Amino acid sequence: MADKKLVEAITSMEDDFAQWYTDVVKKADLMGYTSVKGCMVFKPAGYAIWELIQKQMDEMFKETGVQNVYLPMFIPESLLEKEKDHVEGFAPEVAWVTQGGLQPLQERMCVRPTSETLFCDFYKDDIQSYRDLPKVYNQWCSVVRWEKETRPFLRSREFLWQEGHTAHATAEEAEERTIQMLNLYAEFCEKVLAIPVIKGRKTDKEKFAGAEATYTIEALMHDGKALQSGTSHNFGDGFAKAFGIQYTDKDNKLKYVHQTSWGSTTRLIGAVIMVHGDNSGLVLPPRIAPVQVMIVPIQQKKEGVLDKAFELRDRLSKTEGLYGNLRVKVDDSEKSPGWKFSECEMRGIPVRVEIGPKDIENSQCVLVRRDNGEKITVSTDEIEEKVSELLGKMQKDMLERARAHRDEHTYTAKNMDEFEKLFSEKSGFVKAMWCGCQECEDRIKEKLAVTSRCLPFEQETISDKCVCCSKPAKSLVYWGRAY
Amino acid sequence: MADKKLVEAITSMEDDFAQWYTDVVKKADLMGYTSVKGCMVFKPAGYAIWELIQKQMDEMFKETGVQNVYLPMFIPESLLEKEKDHVEGFAPEVAWVTQGGLQPLQERMCVRPTSETLFCDFYKDDIQSYRDLPKVYNQWCSVVRWEKETRPFLRSREFLWQEGHTAHATAEEAEERTIQMLNLYAEFCEKVLAIPVIKGRKTDKEKFAGAEATYTIEALMHDGKALQSGTSHNFGDGFAKAFGIQYTDKDNKLKYVHQTSWGSTTRLIGAVIMVHGDNSGLVLPPRIAPVQVMIVPIQQKKEGVLDKAFELRDRLSKTEGLYGNLRVKVDDSEKSPGWKFSECEMRGIPVRVEIGPKDIENSQCVLVRRDNGEKITVSTDEIEEKVSELLGKMQKDMLERARAHRDEHTYTAKNMDEFEKLFSEKSGFVKAMWCGCQECEDRIKEKLAVTSRCLPFEQETISDKCVCCSKPAKSLVYWGRAY
């Protein structure tokens, strides 16, 4: 039973979802704690997932004309203070540098919590004429927010992300880019992470500090909690006015630019864990699995077994997969096959290939799917096609399974009684009508301990009345408990 | 003459090399200044070069078994202080965070100037047994050093780099990895950046704070100054003892690990500018040129010209180049061809393709090499082969040209008179024998304002005596003025 140790070491998700999450992060070797409070180490298995996310998202960005840049990590206090709402939102949670070398600084600087102010300061000089527009810049970096409670991938004092910052000649163009990037995030989540999302707009209460409008994609985790998975903000010309970012238009008039920003973070890895994982550990969608296929030789000391395993690896490694060539390894360690199976499962490796002396005799091998445990015996002659096909199928099935789970855990409420009953008995999204007043939003938050997730782009009319005050409803809102 | 503006705006390198450098950085739009003192913006053209450097170096790393990770950017003061030499070297030049959110920190933290201490703190818990070794980790990130004088790419308060940190069971294995990575850097510089380097060991005076031995690659810039372009350090078990990083060996005994670290930075871009650039601007080796081919249509308003230009772009973009497919653009802006030519030159684009109505009639086009201005008329039918060939040839020629320049500017000195004369009249590397005493090294530095660059792996015997004290010589040393 030693083979089971790895799995037995994790809490079941039905018993304690939060502990299950922490166990998976630890046992799949994704992240480690450090002696820097609230900051974590991305270990190789965790960072390799981030690299695959980065590469694929960056390619999608570049197809839409995004250019990467890198701006400083420090923001002088006077710069942070230029836009009133923005500084109010961020000042309470930044880290301050007060000394450089052996000298105290004349002006303290914070470590960027986000870089709107730096980009504005840069654009103010870099943009002169309509010919300089649009600017569609992005940077991959880390940011710091002095959080009190931290959880691996979901919330930490330093985290990795990308932040796009654009400047446009017109309000229309800025709005178009804001929505374009939200759609890109949604497509990325579905296509690459196999996570379906709800696209919508945040209420004024929940929008980004300094934004005119914030759009969001919201995903539902296995435990029924929501996770904000990417946001896109339209700033209008608010920042441009605060920073004086003007351009001379074709008509020779001086005008303010219109700006946007959009970001997604390493919490996407947290979403992958909580949407796809199970009681055997991590389950990775093939597109972001650093190892997509693990070949486990059975009775590996028998002649020809390891040779065959490496031959299959070499052939598979030359086969085109969902993203680049297939990523394949052989586990030729001294561990027992059972232990190796558990380990593949814990680490979320999409396909395990079992090959032993008998299989070799019959020119076959066994493929085991991580997502549903299905075993398929295939001829080794056609292993390339079979594995490719299987990975493609898994990528699709995982999205459909997650979508079905989300739909099954999406409810509707017409009044406060239904609303309260749902959140006391169920866990998931609740759709309800809203009058548009912040009083109702606050009251719901206070009474049910849930927040408005978004006003979905796909509006429905469940009833004519606000779920809270019964006054005429303006919009449908998704509500939920959130990470 | 309006076409010449762009070029006239830069100082000639013979008049003022430092100003020429600054002009190229600015006019080629690589970097910008910010209101954060000593910190700069990587603009799209500059960052795209860094991305190509990162990708190609990272692939070389991974081929040698390197795994990427990410550690926090903050180092608690007590952690920085654990290794005596290390803290002495770095404490005077770090930025200190003293407040997090609204509270002063109980212990101040510096922003990493380098991450040896963090990796040690991590390895201390992560390494238990010989089975956990070796650890061969690397991270791509930014670091901060509170420099007083800053120059784009060469020295700034925040800069981008990669830092590798490894832990091994034996001293031999650590030394092997140290040399392996130095060789990798040298190969990278020659193959990718077309920059020849001298490989060698630093003197004790010049080695890294806390290292047993520091190895370096030294390149010679066009003005005859040296640039340290990558370093690899062997720490022995010094850090392991300071941090208590021990493992249980196969013989069941507790032993200290042996560690290395190695780094290279965005100053490599500075090296590219100063090795290959000329009075028309930047000259990029094809392998790191974000745009390798710029197609400039002549009389672009005439029917068929732009169509042909885009057709050629599409065909070239599908052609395999030195690294991935060819990176090709068409300049279809309203500017004059002459202006476009100047701009291509300023930005260092390796090949310019000129195509106009007459060329189209004759099924030909003109290829212009950026490195030597050579023009070649080729049939458009075979443009793919011709451009590919040309880029390959340029990559080689640029390395050979840089090597010849370096060799022509490498001198030998047998005594102090020769030594002084050389550095007063010439600019370059001077090879001279050394007794091994720091007194001589100090004296030479004081008298000639030059530093020891390295004890080259390829030793020669120029004379039996130290160039400074005339006592018996132990090694040949490369000396130079350095950035």
CATH of the domain at A476: 3.30.110.30
Tell me if the bond preceding A76 is cis, omega within 30° of 0: no
Helix residue ranges, H only, B150-237? 171-191
* Contact residues on chain A for B121, CB-CB shorter than 8 A: 34-35
Position B284 in a domain: no
Residue B430 is inside which H or E element, if any?
A: strand B429-434
Cβ pair B292, B53 in contact under 8 A: no
Domain of residue B98, residue span: 2-276
Q: What's the gap in Å between the CA of B47 and the closest CA on chain A?
A: 6
- The pLDDT assigned to B268 comes to 98
d(CA A256, CA A239): 9
Compute the C-alpha angle B55/A112/B79, nearest 5°. 80
Position A386 in a domain: yes
Residues A85 and A134 in one domain: yes
Give the residue on A whose Cα is nearest the Cα of B66: A44
Of B223, B245, B276, the last residue of a domain is B276
- The pLDDT assigned to B5 comes to 59
* Binary contact (A34, B99; C-beta < 8 A): no
Residues A175 and A99 in one domain: yes
Model-level pTM greater than 0.90?
yes
* Binary contact (A122, B32; C-beta < 8 A): yes
DSSP state of A278: B
Cβ pair B276, B285 in contact under 8 A: yes
* CATH code of the domain in which A207 resides: 3.30.930.10
Residues B143 and B245 in one domain: yes
Cβ pair A205, A213 in contact under 8 A: no
Position B120 in a domain: yes
B104: confidence class by pLDDT, cuts 50, 70, 90: very high
B8: confidence class by pLDDT, cuts 50, 70, 90: low
- pLDDT tens for residues B227-270? 999 999 999 999 999 999 999 999 999 999 999 999 999 999 99
DSSP 3-state assignment of A189?
helix
Torsion B211-B216-B222-B225 (CA) sign: positive
A376 has pLDDT over 60:
yes
Q: What's the gap in Å between the CA of A6 and the closest CA on chain B?
A: 17
Q: What's the gap in Å between the CA of B23 and the closest CA on chain A?
A: 17
Residues A56 and A96 in one domain: yes
Position A343 in a domain: yes
* Contact residues on chain A for B327, CB-CB shorter than 8 A: none
Of A207, A242, A276, the last residue of a domain is A276
- pLDDT tens for residues A196-242? 999 999 999 999 989 999 999 999 999 999 999 999 999 999 999 99
Helix residue ranges, H only, B238-382? 238-243, 267-276, 305-317, 337-346, 357-361
Of A40, A73, A97, the CB nearest to B142: A73
- pLDDT tens for residues B190-236? 999 999 999 999 999 999 989 999 999 999 999 999 999 999 999 99
* CATH code of the domain in which A305 resides: 3.40.50.800
What integer is the mean pLDDT of A51-68?
98
A118: confidence class by pLDDT, cuts 50, 70, 90: very high
* Binary contact (B100, A146; C-beta < 8 A): yes
- pLDDT tens for residues B374-431? 999 999 999 999 999 999 999 999 999 999 999 999 999 999 999 999 999 999 999 9
Tokens of A111: 């470590």
Residues B342 and B380 in one domain: yes
Give the residue on A whose Cα is nearest the Cα of B158: A72
* Binary contact (B34, A146; C-beta < 8 A): no
What integer is the mean pLDDT of A253-281?
98
Residues A349 and A204 in one domain: no
B50 has pLDDT over 80:
yes
Q: What's the gap in Å between the CA of B331 and the closest CA on chain A?
A: 15
Q: How many domains does chain A have?
A: 3
- The pLDDT assigned to A1 comes to 37
- Chain A and chain B share a number of CB contacts under 8 A equal to 144
- The pLDDT assigned to A91 comes to 87
Q: What's the gap in Å between the CA of B444 and the closest CA on chain A?
A: 29
* Binary contact (B67, A44; C-beta < 8 A): yes
- The pLDDT assigned to B85 comes to 87
Position A401 in a domain: no
* Contact residues on chain B for A93, CB-CB shorter than 8 A: 101
- The pLDDT assigned to A84 comes to 87
* Binary contact (A146, B43; C-beta < 8 A): no
Residues B252 and B142 in one domain: yes
Residues A418 and A358 in one domain: no
Position B283 in a domain: no
Averaged pLDDT score across all residues of chain A: 96
In a mutational test of the A interface, the residue from B26, B29, B36 whose CB has the highest number of chain A CBs within 10 Å is: B36
Position B191 in a domain: yes
The one-letter amino acid code at B96 reads W
* Binary contact (B42, A93; C-beta < 8 A): no
Tokens of B398: 């640029």
Position A284 in a domain: no
The one-letter amino acid code at B429 reads F
Residues B204 and B313 in one domain: no
Q: What's the gap in Å between the CA of B65 and the closest CA on chain A?
A: 12
* Contact residues on chain A for B130, CB-CB shorter than 8 A: none
Q: Which residue has the tokens 């923001």?
A: A75
In a mutational test of the B interface, the residue from A36, A63, A149 whose CB has the highest number of chain B CBs within 10 Å is: A36
- The phi, psi pair for B374, rounded to 5°, reads -55, 135
Q: Which residues pair with A366 in a beta bridge?
A: A354, A377
* Binary contact (B42, A70; C-beta < 8 A): yes
Residues B249 and B301 in one domain: no
